[in-house]
Amino acid sequence: YYVVVTGTCNTITSGNAVVTVNPLPQGSLTTSAICSGSNASLTYTSSVAGSGPYTITYSSGGVNTTVTGVVSGVPFTVGTLTATRAYSLVSVTDANGCVGTSFTAGTATVTVNPLPTATLSGSQTICANTSATLTATVTGTGSITVVLSDGTSNTFNGAGTYSITVMPNAATTYTIASVSDANCSAGTVSGTAVISLHTPVTITTQPANTAVCDGITATLSVVAGGTTPTYQWYRVISAGTVTTVSGATAATFTTTTAGIYYVVVTGTCNTITSGNAVVTVNPLPQGSLTGSTICVGSTGTLVYTSSVAGTGPYTIVYNNGTANVTVSDVVSGVGFSVSPAATTAYTLVSVTDANGCVRTSGFTAETATITVLQAPAITSQPVSLTQNAGTAAQYTVAATGSNLTYQWQISTDNGLTYVNLTNAGVYSGVNSATLQISAISINMNGYRYRCVVSGTCAPAATSNVASLTVVSPVASFTVNAANQCLNGNQFTFTNTSSVLVGTLTHQWTFGDGVGTSTLANPTYTYTRSGTFVVKLVVTTDAGLRDSTTRTVVIYSSPLPSYTINQSVQCLLNNRFVFTNTSTLPNEAMTLTYRWEFGDGTTVNDISPVKSYANAGTYNVKLVATSINGCRDSVTQTVTVNPMPVTTVSANPGTILCQGSSVVLTATGGVTYKWYRNGALQVGITGPTFTVTSPGEYSVRATSAAGCESIDVASIVITLLEKPIVDFTFNTSCAQFPITFTNRSVTTNSGPVTFLWTDNFGNTSTVANPVITYATAGVVNMKLKVTPTLCPVSADSVTKSFTLSTAAPALRLPTVDALSGEPIRLQARSLGGTTYLWTPGGSLDDSTIQRPTATLNAEQEYRIRVTTAVGCQTVDTMLVRVFRSYGIYVANVFTPNADGINDRVAMNLVGVRSLRYFRIFDRTGKMVYVTSNTGDSWDGTYNGTKMPIGTYMWVAEAVTNSGINITERGLITLIR
């Protein structure tokens, strides 16, 4: 083409321009089948003249993907597939920029063949040189080939479960090395088959011959190796005859039966028989023990006689009653010596023969006695006697020894010579252990007796000499006091008479012509004064008697008496006058006196005068005493009436409550005088007085005896005033402690108690309680003040206020700051009146809402905001510190709706404003864009969840210093 341009004055022609019309791209999309997990590829083949390379945009699963630099007929990769997938051409742009959107064949489907699988099983244990069958479970298409780990290959026709036979020569673990089918060559394998080999049984230790004693168990054992050996023992009965030992199925076998034994050991793969073992059972020794009889000091013999077959010599253990004794090399029927000091029983404890067999019980005769005969020995000597004439006597000797005989002897010449007695006259038992004398005569005084004891063993034993003394009784007695007064006299006579043999009877006469007694130790009281002779006569049971006398004296006793001027008096100025009127009958002797006034004081006057210091009833005793020491007494009672002791009490107490009265009560008298502040209260004489005014009250009492109290009783009545109740509180915030301050006036109210109650159910009795309310609302707080001593004067006040609730604490958004650069922080207002940031060292002012922080390291702040009513909220804020400004984005997030890491956002450091934040998928398609710094991406595009994969982000922003920055990076989306 060219153009002619014509003007007013001339015409001009342009140069030529060539217009070329290029054809739109046209072609077809093809592909080929793959195995699961492999990369799929597409091939675009151009069917018209055109210029490549091409930019292809294809669609699959609703997602468009663009590929650049595509050459006609050359495959390009679209990714790894695990399932068949269809692809469609959307557009093709050639090198000229021409875009085709309609194609000869614009669709291609990638067929994904599943990978074959093979699983191996069949672990087992086999005998050597035998085969094992393994099981292979396979899936796939067409002919499937499985290669084991030992290199063997097995081919199967189609999916299923197949057997594989192997014959390893050692323990082997089989796995599948590979599996392939008609479509794919590298399938999935799993499973293991372990083939173990049984070990043949062998005997390493044969059973050994064993000899045991009867009753002892013999133990036979065999040691065998191999896989799971089992055992069975057998006993050879005779040549060619063998019996199975029931229950003997272990490596060790016990028996008490003699015989020949062997064991058959059976394993999983073989059986082996042991050699023979002979069990010999030796009998236990058996026999009896016999003894002998000897005299003391001689040696005895014990004989063991065997009664059964056995092998000697023997070792004998016997017990001699105190200890076990062992004797070796004992021959049956041959004695061995023992030397007992006395008759001893010997008991067999055990007998051991030459084979080592031991018997410990069940002997034919296990006990033997060595009888030791003793020589006579005197164990109890006869005792010398002293007796009255005419009585019987006996002498006794005790002796030990064998076959004893006795002979009593007498000496009538003081022991110069002794002759044997015979059973005649007064003597009997002369040849026994006891010599009897039927009647002693006085002429036998001084005779001496002894006994000669003989026995089987010499020598004879002669007893000690026992003498005989013949005696008569002696009368005597004592008296407790020979001289006594008539009143209260009692004579005690103590008999001191004696007789060496026999018993005594007594006869007393007391000399007053009245009293007698036959008691051994009588007592006697005389009824008149005088001098009397007391006589005692004693008589033995043989009729012998003796007597003695003593003199006793009875003195006359005085008769005391007295009179009193007045026996009842008041304590104040009391004076008792006692007049003595005592006498002494039948005697003209002078009396002495002792007055005991009952208060611990005494005098020796004849007629004393006494004044008592204390009130009370006193027993006044007069004791009159004669020159012989005889005395008597008389007692009278005097009464000293006490002076009234007045007490006064107040009901309900000494505290007079404002507007009330107090009742005073006096005690100690029958009439009273009352005073207030020292002034007599005229007309009030009773025990009670009702008062309505404070002051000091006193009272004086008069008793029924007419005694007026010396002192007065006083009591002070104090007036207590009604309290003035008031209180304040420091805050009105729920969930925070509220301190209630008591401002009540109780100065003149005495001790008081406090009771705080509110409409929330809270109560307290402390002066200034602290209460925390859990919820908001109106509080009606009541304070009641009660004087402890005047409850009727209690008063109260109620105040109402509204509770506010503190705002809940928050985690404030994280702030990102540049190291060393100031940054303004901001707390929530919440109607706050005070603020406190902690720690506050990095802040310009830690007590304001918007402090400026300058940090070099990350810092977490606690921000306490206090409202006008005292509610406190503590928020937290994290300030992260970065070394330089920038845009920071996490490289991984997991948008799976679990509330954790579900969104990806920007962290802007040192940035004043954001121009844009864009996210692209792997094809370059933008799936998210924002210019708001607070926005974040949730992993969706147009409401559809984006697939797992890697995405690119790009952001542009302006820093605080006005510099434009652009940042980019990758984000991995994981679900």
pLDDT at 50: 62
Domain covering 202-282, topology: Immunoglobulin-like (2.60.40)
Question: What CA–CA distances, in Å, run from 314 to 111, 350, 578, 777, 952?
Answer: 104, 10, 114, 110, 108
Helices and strands: H and E segment counts in the chain? 0, 100
3-state secondary structure at position 444? helix
Tell which CATH architecture fits domain 477-555: Sandwich (2.60)
3-state secondary structure at position 792? helix
> For residue 482, which of 549, 559, 558, 557 has the smallest C-alpha distance?
549
- In one letter, which amino acid is 570? C
Rounded Cα distance between 690 and 683, Å, is: 13
pLDDT at 121: 95
CATH 2.60.40.10 in the chain: give the residue spans: 27-113, 202-282, 288-373, 377-471, 477-555, 562-641, 647-720, 727-805, 815-882
Query: Within a 13 Å sphere around the CA of 62, how many CA atoms are in the beta-carbon half?
Result: 6
Extract the tokens encoding 775: 């919820």
Which of the four CATH numbers 3.40.309.10, 2.40.50.140, 2.60.40.10, 3.10.20.30 does domain 27-113 have? 2.60.40.10
Domain covering 887-973, topology: Immunoglobulin-like (2.60.40)
Instruction: Calculate mean pLDDT across residues 106-132.
Output: 92
Instruction: Calculate mean pLDDT across residues 790-818.
Output: 90
Domain 288-373 bears CATH identifier 2.60.40.10: yes
> For residue 620, which of 642, 643, 593 has the smallest C-alpha distance?
593
Spatial CB neighbours of 749, under 8 Å, sequence gap ≥ 6? 720, 721, 722, 723, 785, 787, 790, 793
Least confident of 250-264, 350-364, 394-408, 580-594: 580-594
Whether residue 821 contacts residue 813, with contact meaning beta carbons closer than 8 Å, is answered with no
Where is 238: in which H helix or E strand? strand 230-238
3-state secondary structure at position 572? coil
- Per-residue pLDDT reduced to its tens digit, 912-950: 899 999 999 988 899 999 999 889 999 999 999 999 999
Where is 764: in which H helix or E strand? strand 763-764
Rounded Cα distance between 939 and 974, Å, is: 10
At residue 592, what are phi and psi to the nearest 5 degrees?
-110, 155
> For residue 795, which of 761, 740, 759, 745 has the smallest C-alpha distance?
745
At residue 444, what are phi and psi to the nearest 5 degrees?
-90, 0
Q: Is the pLDDT assigned to residue 589 strictly greater than 80? A: no
Spatial CB neighbours of 321, under 8 Å, sequence gap ≥ 6? 344, 345
> For residue 108, which of 214, 31, 221, 17 has the smallest C-alpha distance?
31
Q: Is the pLDDT assigned to residue 73 strictly greater than 80? A: yes
Residues constituting the chain: 975
For 647-720, which CATH superfamily applies? Immunoglobulins (2.60.40.10)
Rounded Cα distance between 145 and 810, Å, is: 66
pLDDT at 796: 94
- Per-residue pLDDT reduced to its tens digit, 21-63: 888 888 999 999 999 989 999 999 998 866 789 999 999 988 9
Tell which CATH architecture fits domain 727-805: Sandwich (2.60)
Q: Is the pLDDT assigned to residue 756 strictly greater than 90? A: yes
Extract the tokens encoding 773: 């309310």
pLDDT at 374: 86
Rounded Cα distance between 470 and 545, Å, is: 15
How would you list the strands of the sheet with 434-437, edge to edge?
393-396, 434-437, 427-428
Which of the four CATH numbers 2.60.40, 2.20.130, 3.40.50, 2.60.120 does domain 117-197 have? 2.20.130
Only one residue has tokens 């087992």, namely 124
Rounded Cα distance between 730 and 733, Å, is: 10
Extract the tokens encoding 750: 């005495």
Rounded Cα distance between 414 and 467, Å, is: 9
Q: Is 787 left (phi over 0), alpha (psi -120 to 50) or beta?
A: beta
Least confident of 294-303, 382-391, 653-662, 702-711: 382-391
Query: Within a 13 Å sphere around the CA of 342, how many CA atoms are in the beta-carbon half?
Result: 4
pLDDT at 191: 93
As a three-state string, the secondary structure of 139-166 is ECCCEEEEEECCCCEEEEECCEEEEEEE
3-state secondary structure at position 793? helix
Q: Is the pLDDT assigned to residue 975 strictly greater than 70? A: yes
pLDDT at 439: 85
Where is 688: in which H helix or E strand? strand 688-691
Question: What CA–CA distances, in Å, run from 795 to 188, 723, 755, 791?
Answer: 93, 7, 11, 9
Percentage of residues in the chain having pLDDT higher than 90 = 67
- In one letter, which amino acid is 757? T
Question: What CA–CA distances, in Å, run from 806 to 560, 777, 835?
Answer: 104, 13, 14
As a three-state string, the secondary structure of 470-513 is EECCECCEEECCCEEECCCCCEEEEECCECCCCCEEEEEECCCC
Rounding to the nearest 10 degrees, give the CA dihedral for residues 386, 387, 389, 393.
-100
> For residue 267, which of 238, 296, 241, 231 has the smallest C-alpha distance?
231
Whether residue 397 contacts residue 433, with contact meaning beta carbons closer than 8 Å, is answered with yes
pLDDT at 294: 87
The alpha carbon dihedral of 765, 770, 773, 779 has a sign of positive
Spatial CB neighbours of 346, under 8 Å, sequence gap ≥ 6? 289, 291, 302, 318, 319, 320, 338, 367, 368, 369, 370
Instruction: Calculate mean pLDDT across residues 703-713.
Output: 89
Q: Report the chain's mean pLDDT, rounded to a whole number.
A: 91
Q: Is the pLDDT assigned to residue 823 strictly greater than 80? A: yes
Instruction: Calculate mean pLDDT across residues 445-451.
Output: 94
Only one residue has tokens 């016990």, namely 254
Spatial CB neighbours of 682, under 8 Å, sequence gap ≥ 6? none
Percentage of residues in the chain having pLDDT higher than 70 = 99
Of the chain, the end-to-end C-alpha distance in Å amounts to 62
pLDDT at 816: 86
Domain covering 562-641, topology: Immunoglobulin-like (2.60.40)
Rounded Cα distance between 58 and 64, Å, is: 6
In CATH, the number for domain 815-882 is 2.60.40.10
> For residue 629, which of 584, 582, 596, 586 has the smallest C-alpha distance?
584
Alpha helices in 253-345 (DSSP H): none
- Per-residue pLDDT reduced to its tens digit, 719-733: 998 999 999 998 888
The alpha carbon dihedral of 676, 677, 682, 687 has a sign of positive
Planar angle of CA 481, 486, 489, nearest 5 degrees: 45
Whether residue 701 contacts residue 668, with contact meaning beta carbons closer than 8 Å, is answered with yes
At residue 820, what are phi and psi to the nearest 5 degrees?
80, -5
Instruction: Calculate mean pLDDT across residues 709-723.
Output: 91
- Residue bearing the bigger pLDDT, 24 or 479: 479
- In one letter, which amino acid is 286? Q
Q: What is the pTM of this model?
A: 0.33
Query: Within a 13 Å sphere around the CA of 475, how many CA atoms are in the beta-carbon half?
Result: 20
Extract the tokens encoding 327: 């004797």
Highest CATH level, class, for 377-471 = mainly beta
CA 86 to chain centre: 76
> For residue 542, which of 467, 472, 477, 442 has the smallest C-alpha distance?
472
As a three-state string, the secondary structure of 873-933 is EEEEEEEEEECCCEEEECCEECCCCCCCCCCEEEEEECEEEEEEEEEECCCCCEEEEECCC
pLDDT at 832: 65
Only one residue has tokens 């060539």, namely 18
Residue spans of beta strands (DSSP E) within 626-661: 631-641, 647-651, 655-657
pLDDT grade, residue 97 (50/70/90)? confident
For strand 230-238 and strand 252-255, is the pairing parallel, antiparallel, or unpaired? Answer: unpaired
